[in-house]
Amino acid sequence: MKNLVGACMFGQSGGPTSVINASAAGVITEALKQKNITAVYGAAHGIKGILDEQFFDMGKEDLQEIMLLKNTPSSALGSCRYKLKDASVDDTDYKRILEVFQKYNIRYFFYNGGNDSMDTCNKVSKYLLSVGYECNIIGVPKTIDNDLYGTDHCPGYASAAKYVATTMMELNLDAKVYDKGQITIVEIMGRNAGWLTAAAALASYKGLGADLIYLPEIPFSADKFLADVKRVADANNGKCIVAVSEGIKTEEGVYVAEALSAAKAKDNFGHTQLGGLAANLAQLVSERIGGKVRGIEFSLMQRCGAHIASAVDVEEAFLAGQTAVRAAVDGETDKMVVFERDMSDGSYKCNLKLMPVDLAANTEKTVPLEWIVNDGTMLSKEFVDYALPLIQGDSKAPLEDGLPRFARLKKVIAAH
């Protein structure tokens, strides 16, 4: 609906990244410029903040602090992993959302997140449409997993990929220090799509990365893995560096992390909480091959490493937020901002467009199988050509006493 006049609500959801706040800065600064938007609210902890009627008046923030969000990692407004039930099963949450939106005259809703967050956008949009409440809803993409369908890449991925590739290069140099052999197994995030683990190949193509890379797209065999590691170690004075996705699965579809450890907990979306795979594989290698073996888990550092953020990533994340607001004010709704790669003149450009949000909700984009080579243990040059343009440039927070000066929001609770 075009020419809607009312307030806007912005929320962050899912795992934080080093650039999700850049999208927040894009949404907030653009929304504050729009005449049709009467107030700008930031939900505390995503959709839960709306349900709890806990959100901040972003118009009370200093513009300088809002702009510092561009280089501030994590989710400044707070995040959540809260799954809305289908309205046909239980519409309690939807009635509450409608109640809050009516109370504050919220006519624009922007939700920043991954697959599950786009599902939330889609559900809320359809419910509000069904009850006749006019509200334009746009999803702003975010995920280091890079697995959102319909977009060339996702904000957050490039900076995490740059962290992975750089750290793999540093680990490679460290592993070469001693004349004795060492097998190093590095666990990298990625549940069902191996995009982030694939970034280790950027280091490999520089001659300073992993010898072997294992992604969820290829069924994992422990016997083949052990044979691969032994072959590489035997040829390199006992040294081998492995990058492995936390989400690798057996031929039967069982997560290896789950199979090698005690029963894992699940989150509110029913996803198994992975982790600890590197340590378990290191133990397996130690028992079956022997020698010095080290398991390393990049864990949270890979997603919050703003000190090594990609300038391309930061700017595109900011533009995604701005684009969402402009689209909503122009009457678009139930859409997600997507990136389209333009190499028409031989250099990388990114065009921002819109796609129906239901196409992205609960659909995952995986690494093309033709990009996985060397019997499932390395990435092709096509992947390198895909990823390299995304990690270009540095974008860091200004320094204060030698340390990053991150945004300090006042977080003034919105009053009605």
- 270 assigned to some structural domain: yes
Residue 265 DSSP class: P
User: Has residue 350 got a pLDDT over 70?
Assistant: yes
CATH number where 252 lies? 3.40.50.460
Q: Rounded mean pLDDT of 352-377?
A: 94
Q: Do the annotations mark residue 191 as ligand-binding?
A: yes
User: Is there a single domain that holds both residue 283 and residue 354?
Assistant: no
Query: Binning pLDDT at 50, 70 and 90, where does residue 273 land?
Result: low
**pLDDT value at residue 400:** 97
**pLDDT value at residue 362:** 72
Q: Do the annotations mark residue 332 as ligand-binding?
A: no
User: Is there a single domain that holds both residue 300 and residue 215?
Assistant: yes
Q: Rounded mean pLDDT of 287-312?
A: 95
CATH number where 50 lies? 3.40.50.450
Dump pLDDT digits (tens) for 154-204.
999 999 999 999 999 999 999 889 889 999 999 999 989 999 999 999 999
- 380 assigned to some structural domain: no
- 413 assigned to some structural domain: no
Q: What are phi and psi of 62, to 5 degrees?
A: -75, 135
**pLDDT value at residue 361:** 82
User: Is there a single domain that holds both residue 299 and residue 319?
Assistant: no
User: Is there a single domain that holds both residue 47 and residue 87?
Assistant: yes
- 371 assigned to some structural domain: no
- 240 assigned to some structural domain: yes
Calpha distance 208→265 (Å, rounded): 36
**pLDDT value at residue 260:** 84
Alpha helices in 35-91 (DSSP H): 47-51, 63-68
Q: Which of 264, 288, 305 is the last residue of a domain?
A: 305
Cα-only R_g, the chain: 22
Calpha distance 17→263 (Å, rounded): 28
**pLDDT value at residue 416:** 75
Dump pLDDT digits (tens) for 35-66.
999 999 999 999 999 999 999 999 999 999 99
User: Is there a single domain that holds both residue 242 and residue 340?
Assistant: no
Domain count, the chain: 2
Whether 385 sits among the annotated catalytic residues: the reply is: no
Structure-token pair, residue 32: 């504050």
User: Has residue 371 got a pLDDT over 80?
Assistant: yes
Return the half-sphere exposure (C-beta side, CA atoms, 13 A cut-off) of residue 383: 24
User: Is there a single domain that holds both residue 354 and residue 294?
Assistant: no
User: Is there a single domain that holds both residue 150 and residue 28?
Assistant: yes
User: Has residue 2 got a pLDDT over 80?
Assistant: no
User: Is there a single domain that holds both residue 299 and residue 347?
Assistant: no
User: Has residue 269 got a pLDDT over 70?
Assistant: no
Q: Do the annotations mark residue 190 as ligand-binding?
A: yes
**pLDDT value at residue 312:** 99
Catalytic one among 93, 145, 228, 358? 145
- Average of per-residue pLDDT values in the chain: 95
- 182-220 in b/e burial notation, b at 16+ Cβ within 10 A? bbbbbbbbbbbbbbbbbbbbbbbbeebbbbbbbbbbbeb
User: Is there a single domain that holds both residue 400 and residue 272?
Assistant: no
Q: Rounded mean pLDDT of 350-359?
A: 96
User: Has residue 267 got a pLDDT over 60?
Assistant: no
- 174 assigned to some structural domain: yes
Structure-token pair, residue 237: 């004075």
Q: Rounded mean pLDDT of 325-348?
A: 97
Q: Rounded mean pLDDT of 74-99?
A: 96
pLDDT cut 90: percent of the chain above it = 91
User: Is there a single domain that holds both residue 52 and residue 41?
Assistant: yes
Q: Do the annotations mark residue 272 as ligand-binding?
A: no
Dump pLDDT digits (tens) for 95-130.
999 999 999 999 999 999 999 999 999 999 999 999
281 CB burial (10 A radius; 0-12, 13-18, 19+) = buried
User: Is there a single domain that holds both residue 205 and residue 301?
Assistant: yes
User: Has residue 270 got a pLDDT over 80?
Assistant: no
Dump pLDDT digits (tens) for 236-254.
999 999 999 999 999 999 9
Q: Do the annotations mark residue 246 as ligand-binding?
A: yes
- Domain extent, residue 132, equals 6-154+307-363+393-404
